[in-house]
Structure 1
Amino acid sequence: MDNQELLYHYFSNSLTSEQEILFQNLLETDAKFKAQFEFEKDLKEAVKSHETDNLKAKLQEVESGINSKQKKSIFNYSNLAIAASIAVLIGWFGYSTFFSTNYTSLYEDNYNEYPNTVFTITRSEDQNSLEREAFVAYEAKNYQTALNTFEVLSEESPKDYIRFYKAQSYLGLEDNEKAKTLFKQITKEHQNFVAESTWYLALIAIKEKDKTQARTYLENLVVNYDYNKDKAQELLEALN
């Protein structure tokens, strides 16, 4: 794998564990690679700018920085190389960065783990229960432990919120398919957490770049519920 491909995988968050080791080693031992990485990292920030004027200004700052570094010279970029790097990075972030929906940003800006609102965690001995264990793990973001415990609880307890927090644990583990299945069951079978489940179904659809399905869930929220109604309206506008 050449260095350019390695950088591509880094900026697209797709490095394998072996590639991560190689990447870190190159940063520490290869001055040219490190300089190229720093250049493209700066350029990435410019490309992600939402405003054209800001983007142009940041690109000028990056190019100016490269020109000043040429005097100390680890390596030199020609104007053609700079243009090529810009073109490659624009390709990485996709056409949608400038002209269409940035699904990743919409998801990351709106996703938050749902707080524990149903079980008060205390230190008293009489609260030392399986349910307490599950929510202690959940609040600590130990999602696998929480999930394992919620699994047991869901077999023993009719409480509808167990299924909801089980779905949240799957989200924390980035298992969107299993989370989605549970959220859908909640919207069909339960009165509690229906609006909240609909919200998270919308976010999953956004993450999966399913605009039609996302809009369906968001429109349902705006029309039928108060939960995150304003945020749902903002997301609908962003998805237009």
Structure 2
Amino acid sequence: MNNQELLYHYFSNSLTPEQESVFKKLLETDAEFKAEFEFEKGLQKAIKSHETDRLKAMLNEVETKINKRHNTVFNYRNLAIAASIAILFGWFGYNTFFSTNYSSLYEDNFTEYPNTVYTITRSDDANSIEREAFVAYETKNYQTAIEKFEALSADETKDYLNFYKAQAYLGMDNIQEAKGLFQQVVAKNESFVAEATWYLALIAIKEKDKSLAVSYLEHLMANYSYNKDKAQALLKELN
């Protein structure tokens, strides 16, 4: 699959998990592809903001004329309008204009949560498992981080470990493991409950579960201050 096809599937919200992995890698390693993506993303937003109503009106006009074709000749002008709309839909896809682009919403709002619980300094010679875990986490060596967090999981006084282990799983695109751990953080009222709720909302968006995402975002706004403005903006996008 070439880059144009990847962009098409991204903006039509139809990437497979395998294609999504390739897409993310290209964004990180291919400057030309990233520039093209940013251009198309800006173009998509501009069209969605300024053209949706006009396109809907055009579609309604064509539909009305088609429905009345037994009384009205369907002329070349009508055909040209329909063809123009079809060309636009062929590139951006119907969902780009009239439905939520869940992949885009997830990517635009996801950021890895920073290490705020364990300070690592160059002069720190302590060779503890927790230090090794957070060094691995900060250097994006997520598999090692998970293994180290697992080794520490028996320490119930450090209830932030599940949250950071979930973050590491997100870094590896293992959504299901991350989701289970975030749910555990919320259920047990562990540290980072508000933050875990935010990430559960993002996971629901990634999985295209609109009702669940809305539920998490509304709960976040009603009970916590963390990312309240972002949650409100996301709710507007989803509704």
Q: CA 1:217 to 1:41, structure 2 compared with 1: closer, same or farther past 3 Å?
A: closer
Cα drift, residue 164 of structure 1: 0.5
Runs of 4+ in structure 1 deviating by more than 4 angstroms, as ranges, are 5-9, 13-17, 40-47, 52-55, 83-89
Partner of 1:10: 6
For CA contacts below 8 A with separation 6 or more, give which structure has more relative contact order. 2
For 1:149 and 1:15, how far apart are their aligned partners in 2? 27
Partner of 1:140: 139
- Equivalences for 1:90-101 in 2 at 5 Å? 90-91=89-90, 93-101=92-100
Q: Is the 8 A contact 2:118 2:131 kept in 1?
A: yes
Residue of structure 1 aligned with 2:46, choices 45, 50, 71: 50
Cα drift, residue 41 of structure 1: 7.9
Q: CA 1:53 to 1:92, structure 2 compared with 1: closer, same or farther past 3 Å?
A: closer
TM-score of the pair, normalised by structure 2: 0.67
Partner of 1:149: 148
Partner of 1:130: 129
Q: CA 1:178 to 1:93, structure 2 compared with 1: closer, same or farther past 3 Å?
A: farther
Q: Is the 8 A contact 1:143 1:173 kept in 2?
A: yes
Partner of 1:110: 109
TM-score of the pair, normalised by structure 1: 0.67
Q: Is the 8 A contact 2:217 2:235 kept in 1?
A: yes
Deviations 1:126-173 (A, max 9, x none): 432111111111111111111111111113454111111000000111
For 1:135 and 1:9, how far apart are their aligned partners in 2? 38
What percent of counterpart residues are identical?
A: 59
Q: CA 1:15 to 1:100, structure 2 compared with 1: closer, same or farther past 3 Å?
A: closer
Q: Is the 8 A contact 1:44 1:89 kept in 2?
A: no
Partner of 2:70: none
Q: CA 1:87 to 1:189, structure 2 compared with 1: closer, same or farther past 3 Å?
A: same
The code of the aligned residue for 1:207 comes to K
SS of corresponding position for 1:112 = coil
For 2:85 and 2:2, how far apart are their aligned partners in 1? 17
SS of corresponding position for 1:96 = helix
SS of corresponding position for 1:48 = helix
Partner of 1:26: none
- How many equivalent residue pairs? 190
For 1:229 and 1:45, how far apart are their aligned partners in 2? 25
Partner of 2:192: 193
The code of the aligned residue for 2:204 comes to A
Pairwise CA RMSD: 3.4
SS of corresponding position for 2:111 = coil
Q: CA 1:190 to 1:41, structure 2 compared with 1: closer, same or farther past 3 Å?
A: closer
Extract unaligned runs of 5+ from structure 1. 21-36, 56-82
